[in-house]
Amino acid sequence: MKLSKLIEGLDILKIEGDVDKEISRIVYDSRRAVPGSLFVCIDGFKTDGHKYIQSAMDNGAVAFLVQKDVPVLENMTVIKVPDTRYALAHVSAAFFEHPSEHFTLIGVTGTKGKTTVTYMIKSILEQAGQTVGLIGTVANIIGSERIPAQRTTPESLDLQEMFSNMKEKGADAVVMEVSSQGLKLNRVGAITFDVGVFTNLSEDHIGGNEHPDMEDYLKSKIKLFSMSKRGLINIDSEYAGRVLAESRCPCMTFGIENKADVYAEDIVTHADSVEFTVKTPWFGGRVKVSVPGRFTVYNALAAIGVAGMLGMGFEHAVNGLKNIHIPGRAEIVPTPGKPYTVMIDYAHTPDSLRNILSTVKEFVPNRLISVFGCGGDRDRGKRPQMGKISGKIADFTIITSDNPRTEDPMAIIRDIEEGIKQTDGQYIIIEDRTEAIRYAMSIAKEGDIIVLAGKGHETYQIFKDKTIHYDEREIVKEILESME
Ligand SMILES: Nc1ncnc2c1ncn2[C@@H]1O[C@H](COP(=O)(O)OP(=O)(O)O)[C@@H](O)[C@H]1O
Ligand SMILES: [Mg+2]
């Protein structure tokens, strides 16, 4: 495609050189440049792409998108823009000929529930016979093809290529998790969502390379509603007022506590599911979701709301939710013949640990056994908090490891112990995660529920010197076999 066509409509500060060139490929990593490439210089957290112009040229790049002044050599085309991240999104969308205009695009943002809501929407739309693409934390999926995900929201160039792939595969709709980083860094720039969903907001992703403060975090989330045709907002969220006031599109609401367009009544929780009556402007009735917990009601309402907004029938929502399975989210692992239950959940923050443990505590017939650790090289402050939460809610806690990275696993465990010591919760420390799970299963009695928190869908454990394959579902199966 001609460079002039790629930059059509882009906010440009300065052009030097010829824009009539044919562009063979767009790259933001100079090592991937090939003859005829357009190299987009991103000033990132680790390094600055403007430093690699020569290397991109050596590989054949002919045009450069920059946001800083750089020396212009012969035969180079240099285009200066205010923000190369946004420009990358713009030229990528143009390069792939705006693939997302060919399907219904749904974006889900919020601190918690993004993965769950996207899986629920996908399931409902599939009930209605649609081919649905999914983009998010766990994997990117189109039809039966699975591509493991690198990050929750891919870089704009990779995202547009994925859209293009999904369009080729006949997607009627694509549901994607939109992280606040994805919004802030314009990974979803130059895209219009048919529906944007706001699940909730709590303190997370603040500090480091992410968001300086809560306001920045909220503002990033709200950005989705200047890129969507319609919005669906959780009215019970503390921040709903701000989102509704600052969104630039018409919005509908969902909730339980406050009056909403889509709301739930007569909620009944079970050990493995939750049931409620949903009322909406389009349809209403009893719904059962095969994931436990009150937060599941919120996630389901979001998905049902989107279904209604897109004109789906009530039966599609009911059928889409009744057997829904979300990898690593309150996932029950089969333990045939055993009188106890093992549940895997991705909870790895204080909030989500509290959520999952208190949810299970509500219906556990006997004891709640919690097994968890905290990641190394990550926020230390959350370790004692999580220790305290487990000590207060669980009947017994096994503190173990969860991606220690470069830290000493026992040092992390001692930080967690600080918190649990402040409660009268009983606990034991078993550094090796497999041994910790084995111990939990060996002491579990009839009616106990073991919650393995932290790993969820992940299939690895990261240590100082190595990363090993680690799939908790397989571990539980192996332990069961060794117990025979
Ligand atoms: N609506 C919700 N409110 C609070 N906690 C939730 C909600 N949905 C899920 N959770 C908790 O957060 C964890 C992560 O859920 P997930 O759907 O993966 O969210 P995200 O993709 O936004 O990180 C779940 O395992 C569960 O413990
Ligand atoms: Mg996610």
pLDDT tens for each residue of 9-20: 999 999 999 999
H or E element, residue 139: strand 139-142
Residue owning the nearest CA to atom 9 of ligand 1: 113
Ligand 1 nearest atom to the CA of residue 110, by list position: 22
pLDDT band at 483 (very low <50, low <70, confident <90, very high): confident
d(CA 335, CA 483): 12
Give residue-wise pLDDT tens across range 60-110: 999 999 999 999 988 899 999 999 999 999 999 999 999 999 999 999 999
Kindly tell me if the per-residue pLDDT of 269 is higher than 90.
no
pTM of the model: 0.91
pLDDT, residue 207, reads 66
99-322 belongs to which CATH class? alpha beta
- Dist. CA 115 → ligand 2 center (Å): 4
What tokens does 477 get? 């199966």
Instruction: Give pLDDT, residue 147.
Output: 78
179 annotated among ligand-binding-site residues = yes
Provide Rg for the chain, Cα atoms. Answer: 24
**Does 280 count as an annotated binding residue?**
no
Burial class (CB in 10 A: 0-12, 13-18, 19+), 290: middle
**Which residues sit opposite 265 in a β-bridge?**
277
Tell me if 397 is assigned to a ligand binding site: no
- Alpha-carbon span 474 to 386, nearest angstrom: 26
Strand order in the sheet with 228-234: 145-148, 139-142, 132-135, 173-177, 104-109, 193-198, 228-234, 251-255, 262-269, 274-279, 284-289
155 Cβ neighbours under 8 A, 6+ residues apart:
28, 88, 187
Does 92 count as an annotated binding residue? no
**What was the pLDDT predicted at 206?**
66
Label residue 270 by pLDDT band (50, 70, 90): confident
Do the annotations mark residue 284 as ligand-binding? no
* Domain range 331-483, CATH architecture: Alpha-Beta Complex (3.90)
Task: Tell me how far the alpha carbon of residue 46 lies from the centroid of ligand 1, in angstroms.
Answer: 29
Residues within 6 Å of ligand 1 by CB: 112-116, 137, 177, 199-200, 295, 298-299, 329, 345-347, 352, 355-356
Quick one: fold of 3-95? Answer: 3.40.1390
> What is the Cα–Cα distance from 358 to 396, expressed in whole angstroms?
14
Distance 36 CA to ligand 2 centre (A): 36
Q: Ligand 1 centroid to 351 CA: how many Å?
A: 9
Domain residue limits, the chain: 3-95, 99-322, 331-483
**Contact call for residues 204 and 133 (beta carbons, < 8 A):** no
Give distance in angstroms: CA of 225 to centre of ligand 1: 21
- Is residue 473 pLDDT above 70, yes or no? yes
- Distance, CA of 104 to CA of 343 (rounded, Å): 34
Residues 353-405 have pLDDT tens digits of 999 999 999 889 999 999 999 999 988 999 999 999 999 999 999 999 999 99
> Which atom of ligand 1 is least distant from the CA of 119?
17
